[in-house]
Chains A and B, each alone.
Chain A
Amino acid sequence: MYKKVLILSAALCATPLLKAQEADTLIKNDDSNPSLDESSFTFTESQLGEDDNDGKTSTVLSSASNVFTANVSMKLGASGYRFRAYDNKYNEVYINGVLVNDPERGYFRFSQIGGLNNISRNSDNALPFEENVYCMPGIAGSVNYDFRASQVPQGNKLTLSLANRTYTGRLMYSYGSGVNPSGWSFAGNITARYASINGFRNVEGAFYNSLSYYFGAEKIINSSHTLSLSTFANPTMRGSRGASTDEAYFLAGSNSYNPYLGYYNGEVRNSRVVRDFAPTTVLTWDFAANDNLKITTSALLVYSMYSNTKLAYNNSTNPAPDYYKNLPSSFYDVYDANNTENRRDVDLQNWNYVYDYWTSSVNSRYINFDKLYFANVSASKNGGEALYYMPQIHTERISAGLSSALRYNLGANSRLNLGISASRNKVNHYQTVYDMLGAKYLHNTNSYAVGSYDSGDYRVQYDMLHPDKLLQEGDVFGYDYNIFVDKADLWSSYSLDAGGLHAYVSGKIGYTDMFREGKMQNGFAPNNSYGPSKKAYFLDGGGKIGSTLNLGMGHAIDLGFGYQADAPDAGSAFSAPEINNNFVVGLDCEKILSGQLSYAYSGSMVKATLTGYYNKITDATKWTCFYSDDDHSFTYVSMTGIEKEYYGVEFGVSLKLTSKLELLALGAVSEAKYTSDCNASYMLSNSAAYKNDVVLSKGMREDGTPLTLASLGFTYNLKGWYLELTGNYFDRIYLSFSPVSRYAATLKKQELAEAPAQTEGKGGFMLDCSIGKNFRLKKGSLYAGLMLTNILNNCNICTGGYEQSRTDYSYNTSTDAVTDKVYKFSANPKKYYAWGINGMFNIVYRF
């Protein structure tokens, strides 16, 4: 695989692709303040999407014009803050003017540029109602990174970091040649980051290995033409962290307990290993016809390989240590003192027995790989197939994109931007047997369907083209399909300055098509799984208008409105893509209405912004999958007709108390909730039957981000010393709600009049500080700095998680009888907690 990638990368570097972007409009981040350098331009783990918090990575956002947005991402990244609680797909990320968001899921995985801090420092950020030269910004803003070689600071820079975060050690070296007399620029960066599985960390067993690189070359051909080539990637292998229940955290004695860990012959082993490698090449052509007309054209090629292992079981029991049947509360009802049936003496004895088991030894609360191997070996002695095995879930994507943006100064007071972009994308989803864990074989049959049909029935086959295939390690099984997505956009913006008024209007129109191509003939869809599906077409687009009215004396008011329709993500457009070619019924473009009013003051001592906003999203689609108790089956669930509202108030104040001391205060109170119930259609994996229901989603909120937050910090600068102390408070962090417990049918069975309230995590206060000093040397300079986060070690702040998609009752389909389970899934959501005290010590040597 890696050989294939190396060949591809080499080919990419040699391919003369064309691209572009407006280099001289970028915001250059000041490289003169080393403390700012290391704190502001190190992506936090939550921003990189590497803390496994249910995919809810923090928004990477900044702004030169808004005190709140300029600082909030860095100050509150530890809480998983997402800008206005939007999904990250609304945050558009560009490199040299070409869009790099995942075309299938919509969001950009910042881990693809992890470790390239020195390269990604030059960026052009735009808030939802700020114009820019590369796009019409999304509702969560947009950012364009300038990866041109000439933008990398000239000279050498060596950084050594020690930390107890995602990694424990980091070595980073970057070089920028600057522009030499012949017009060439060269730049490079190589970063190694490492954490051992047993290292001193805030997350147990989440080992980390990565070696990111960047190489750039740029040639100024003449005063009109410049070509630049950039290639980069961040090959990473890391162990994941899993959410768990409060009961498991209590039994383990720590909120950093990681249920994905296990012991194998006395050694620690993580069952979920992520491998991520996305070599990317961007070729950019900057063309300046004259001082008023500039065109930037960029071509992009990405080959992304992402995989994750996990534990699976077959005709056995779930090997997860925190599986509910392994927990004391599944033996004794700890919630209802009036439940005499499940609070007998024998139940209490069982509770104590399991409690003692969990707390007696660390081996008891982790995956016991020895047992899994032994079970497989034992089963094979009776001729049985694997009871436990490790699948590897693969997502491989090839994307080719081309974009071109024109900037034309119509006069001293007006500008026109015009851009086009197009991309072709192929995403291959498949699953392989990674580790048989000592078993001799496994069948490529649907374990959910086996038992529902005769053993010779074609419907139990995952692939009728290769029925009853015996699997060995490395074999593809279960599903194998491609998703193809083509996109094209045309956008424009026009801005005008007249007196104290700056106004702009922008608009875009886009085209998207998508289809699925199955590479297996699934027994549940023999005529609708192998080969290509029909193609779905979407026409989308929209517009924005905005204005800034300068009231004088530093006062200004911003006002903006927008409306747009976005094509649905391919990732939620298919009802059961692992099985068939069906699109979701009722699939539609989602509509977004947005508005914002902002007041800003900018004085010599004080800068302040106060913003109110309102957004409404309608016709949104969401896709998920989980095991359904009522149906005794795994289910693929599509929710359509979703309506959501986002509104709130944000403020930020930056106050210079003295020439050396500065105060920064941030705050936001927001709402991000479903305003209606939505339709659910789900397919059962044991029969391929579709069922329809209504999810009582009204009132549910976006999860994994604080809806209320405040921050107060002081920064002190003196003679090269830099000291910062910041207190952050966040609250109203909701957990991802479970659809199944809010199905109308579920509520009816339980005779409930309304849907259960969404689980809310516990917020809290966090104190951070950093200190650093810059030393000038005879040759170059040296910076040493220490950043400490959560120095009060508050480990009880819930940063996200999800409600378990299981019900609290058992249902008899013939009698309609409902029986309460002892274990209460509703009381045991899976949670992530904030890291305890953590820090990073940096030494930066420039020469």
Chain B
Amino acid sequence: MKLKNLILFLAVSFLVSCGEKDWDDVPGYFRNPNDLPYGYPFGNNTLVDENVISIADLKNRYSTVISSSQSALIEDDIKIKAVVSANDSESGLSNAVALEDETGGILVSISDNGICGYLPVAAEILVDLKGLYIGGYGEMPQIGAPYNNTIGRMNKYVWQDHFRILSDPEEGRVVPKIINSESEISDEYLGTLITLKNVSFHGADGKAVFAPDQGSSYVERYLNEYPTNYVIRTSAYYAKYANDIMPEGSVDLTVVLTRYRDTWQFLIPTRACIKLLED
């Protein structure tokens, strides 16, 4: 009898112990991000918002390096506080995130994918610049790492130590500048979101796509209303809309403004940035 009881006890104990743990859908601490037990799982939660400068100030301090398309190590203990204005959610930007504050914008170039998972649009972050590099890639201001005497992508592990998420996305934080004509475009808006009002895609015929895979990594398209040194630049390999048919007719087009020397480049972050205008 004792033996039977022992067997029964062990069997019941085993059955009770079996079964996979019932993992929650979402960990409790993500449901209320203001009550995180140890901070956000991405970035460096120990950063403190001291010595914060504006993005315009940062670009001014390193204007020579940027305009000469070189890079320089940031040795000063300075930070920027910025809002994410575009990320890689549809790979319109790849390996990069666009940050802006009220004074301007800048690209951060990171050797990483899935950045949209930790830096959603309209989230506010603090960037510790000391130890990072700044420079100009074809005179486009970027934060990153040195690459072939200019600026390139930084190691994703380095990046994780140099930013802190300050808050979740908030509606209304990112408001694109309205651009009605080429004359309104200037260096002031580099790295920021702008909306090109009432434009149309050159060559849109109901068949042409943004970036067919023709062996080149990037494909450039033009706007009928802008000269040919204003281009839409799209990754043929990675942009999720690369083979979407370019819409015929007029659109309001929201893009990140960048440049490569004398060419102004428009990067379309997502399909949602193309708003068809009614006839």
Q: Residues of A with Cβ closer than 8 Å to B?
A: 158, 171, 173, 190, 192, 194, 196, 209, 211, 237, 264-265, 267, 269, 273, 313, 315-317, 325, 331, 346, 350, 353-354, 357, 368, 370-371, 373-379, 381-382, 384, 387-388, 435-436, 438, 450-455, 457, 632, 812-815
Contact = CB atoms under 8 A, between A and B. Distances in A.
B18 A211 contact: yes
Nearest to A196: B17
Of B30, B146, B240, B271, the most chain A CB neighbours within 10 A belong to: B30
A225 B117 CA distance: 69
Given A378-B123, A451-B243, A194 B23 contact: no
Among B15, B20, B241, B245, chain A packs the most CB atoms within 10 A around the CB of B20
Interface stretch (B44-52, B191-199, B210-218): B210-218
B155 interface: yes
Given A265-B29, A375-B114, A454 B245 contact: yes
B108 interface: no
Given A158-B7, A194-B14, A453-B243, A377 B271 contact: no
B244 A455 contact: yes
Interface string B137-170: 0000000011000000001011000000000110
Mostly, the A contact residues are mixed
A368 B41 contact: yes
B153 to A, nearest CB: 11
A205 to B, nearest CB: 12
Contacts of A438: 25-27, 30
Contacts, number: 148
A353 B240 contact: no
Contact of B14 (A171, A267, A346, A451): A171
Interface in B169-228: 169, 209, 213-216
Query: Which 4 residue pairs are nearest across A and B when measured between Cβ atoms?
Result: A814-B215, A375-B117, A316-B114, A317-B113
B44 to A, nearest CB: 13
A265 B155 CA distance: 26
B106 interface: no
B248 interface: no
A455 B114 CA distance: 20
A350 B239 CA distance: 28
Interface of B: 3, 7, 10-11, 14-15, 17-21, 23, 25-27, 29-30, 40-42, 89-91, 111-114, 116-123, 145-146, 155, 157-158, 168-169, 209, 213-216, 237-245, 271
A455 B26 CA distance: 30
Nearest to A363: B41
Contact of A373 (B27, B123, B237, B242): B27
Contact of A377 (B19, B26, B111, B158): B26
B116 A382 contact: yes
A265 B27 contact: yes
B40 to A, nearest CB: 7
27 contacts: A173-B7, A190-B11, A192-B10, A192-B11, A192-B14, A209-B19, A269-B21, A315-B90, A315-B91, A317-B112, A346-B145, A350-B157, A353-B157, A371-B117, A375-B114, A375-B118, A377-B26, A378-B169, A381-B168, A382-B121, A387-B116, A387-B117, A438-B30, A451-B238, A451-B240, A812-B215, A813-B215
A458 B77 CA distance: 53
Nearest to B121: A382
A313 B30 CA distance: 20
B58 to A, nearest CB: 22
Most buried by A among B41, B122, B239: B41
Contact of B155 (A194, A269, A350, A814): A350
Contacts of A331: 155
B240 A194 contact: no
B245 A379 contact: no
Contacts of A211: 14-15, 18
A454 B243 contact: yes
A375 B118 CA distance: 5
A265 B38 CA distance: 11
A696 B250 CA distance: 55
B240 A450 contact: yes
A819 to B, nearest CB: 12
B15 to A, nearest CB: 7
Nearest to B152: A346
B118 A455 contact: no
Contacts of A374: 30, 40-42, 117-118
Given A190-B11, A331-B155, A455-B244, A382 B213 contact: no
